[in-house]
Amino acid sequence: MRDETTEAVSKMVGEIVAALDGRVFGIWLYGSVVLKDFRLGWSDIDFVALTDCEITEDQAERLLMLRQGLSERENGNPYYRSFEGIIANLEEYRTDTFRRLVYWGTSGQRITDTFEHDAFSKYELAVCSQPVYGGRKWPFPKPERAELVQAVRSHYETIRKYAVRTDSNLYACGWLLDIARCIHTLRYGDVISKTEAGLWAVEENIFRDDKPLRRTIEIRKNPLLYKEEPETKQWLAGLGPVVQEYADVLEKELSIVL
């Protein structure tokens, strides 16, 4: 991790532990920040914090707006807003029956009693997560191949439903990386970083026209450089047909597996 990311993680961990009065079983990072693929302006700092006691209503309220509070106290430090994850009780997570947990996501935060990690996240947590509090390995096994395949199918259906048209957000070209990673997962039964998957797909000539994927990889290397560039935004807004063309390739891969 970069120094700024490491410092943000350290402060966030301290704040979470303090808000829970020290009753924390463990906190783990996973995703791009562990896979050395974190890019400020695009990536999230994915984490899971599990407690060894029930989370009280008061503790949940303290945790709910924690990342915004840290950002405001440090003059808009962008790293805190990048944190996404859950803070939940260990046994409730084990049994998938939650009384109360705190969720932080791209669209906001909430106190809820429902949550389920997708198979990609479960795999990353089991195989390559990094403990940043408690020193314990992730205490749950990685998902079976069948669960990964089903997660790919669900992602494929999401692409067909929601990525027919795209807007000028950088995540529009992220669909291409997602598709590349899904194909890699189908072929090899693992989960790799999005950038690594994109580079693999280019090298293996997975897509008939890989120029959009190559451009996406360049954008991901320095998203803040392209985020507000007019030409890039115009390109992103018209990317829907390309995403669907790439999804055609994923569909063929799924038909082979099934």
pLDDT in tens, 4-36: 899 999 999 999 999 999 999 999 999 999 999
Strands 45-51 and 83-89: what pairing?
parallel
Cα-to-chain-centroid distance, residue 229: 25
pTM of the model: 0.95
Q: Which two tokens stand for residue 104?
A: 């932080």
Q: For the chain, which residues make up each domain, given as ranges?
A: 3-133, 145-257
Q: Provide the CATH number for the domain formed by 3-133 in this structure.
A: 3.30.460
What is the per-residue pLDDT for 2? 64
Question: CA 91, CA 137: separation in Å to the nearest integer?
Answer: 16
Give bridge partners of residue 106 from the DSSP assignment: none
Give bridge partners of residue 45 from the DSSP assignment: 83
| Phi (first) and psi of residue 36, to 5 degrees | 60, 40
What is the per-residue pLDDT for 57? 97
- Low-confidence spans in the chain with pLDDT less than 50: none
Tell me: the pLDDT tens digits for 85-102? Answer: 999 999 999 999 999 999
What is the per-residue pLDDT for 257? 84
What is the per-residue pLDDT for 180? 98
What is the per-residue pLDDT for 41? 93
What is the per-residue pLDDT for 76? 84
Helices 240-257 and 211-221: angle between axes, nearest 10 degrees: 110
